[in-house]
Chain A
Amino acid sequence: DQQVKQNSPSLSVQEGRISILNCDYTNSMFDYFLWYKKYPAEGPTFLISISSIKDKNEDGRFTVFLNKSAKHLSLHIVPSQPGDSAVYFCAASQTYNQGGKLIFGQGTELSVKP
């Protein structure tokens, strides 16, 4: 039972353009969502998060959008840079009664070409 899904295993974008990574979830009890970036042989690095009471959160080049009715969130990176090339994971949690354990998607490998 995959509660968090990233349906695109890979994405290729030109440097300077926008990268849009998508994530869908099935559990309406999730109230906190996060995006992590991961390089090979390293741990995930926290990028940005959003609470279910918001529909948008922005931090520099990174913006996360949350559509609760569609159970969908997306990460926008603009402008994309070659150093953004990595695997991106979305994660969701129920913070109020499950201790905040994270449920991860399968990841999307982003490649930003110069």
Chain B
Amino acid sequence: NAGVMQNPRHLVRRRGQEARLRCSPMKGHSHVYWYRQLPEEGLKFMVYLQKENIIDESGMPKERFSAEFPKEGPSILRIQQVVRGDSAAYFCASSPEVTQYFGPGTRLTVL
């Protein structure tokens, strides 16, 4: 049973470009969570999704950030018009019920 998959592992964007981060949950897991870790900080919750539904987006910045988990395919975290402050590690986690299992993360660098 493969773990949580994230791609790309590393992403470099220039200011103003778009970043798309993908997450495939573990087989059988219907809950997907996105977290962000800024340098020298702990992980911060961003959004919780189930198939075709956003359940909790209380941690998402109000502008430029969006997330989806379509019926088919991976969950996508989209950041429009990236700025240097978006540089961070973005982790996806999936869960069958309570315990969350994390992917390896995508390290976004904004030049």
**Contact residues of A with B, CB < 8 Å?**
32, 34, 36, 41-46, 49, 89, 91, 93, 95, 98-107
Contacts and interface: CB of A to CB of B under 8 A. Distances in A.
Given A43-B102, A43-B103, A44-B102, A100 B31 contact: yes
Contact of A89 (B31, B43, B95): B43
A42 B104 contact: yes
A44 B41 CA distance: 14
Contact of B55 (A36, A49, A99): A99
Contacts of A32: 98
A60 to B, nearest CB: 17
21 contacts: A36-B102, A43-B4, A43-B6, A43-B103, A43-B105, A44-B102, A46-B100, A46-B101, A49-B99, A93-B98, A99-B31, A99-B55, A100-B31, A100-B100, A101-B59, A102-B35, A103-B45, A104-B43, A106-B41, A106-B42, A107-B42
Interface in B59-104: 59, 91, 93, 95, 98-104
Contacts of B105: 41-43
Q: Chain A: interface secondary structure?
A: loop
Contacts of A49: 98-99
Chain B interface, >50% SS class? strand
A99 B48 contact: yes
Contacts of A106: 41-42
Give the contact-size bracket for chain B: 20 to 34
Contact of B91 (A44, A95, A101): A44
A91 B35 CA distance: 13
Contacts of B95: 100
Contacts of B56: 98-99, 101
B48 A34 contact: no
A104 B44 contact: yes
Contact of A102 (B33, B55, B103, B107): B33
Nearest to A49: B99
A52 to B, nearest CB: 12
Nearest to A42: B104
Contacts of A43: 4, 6, 91, 102-105
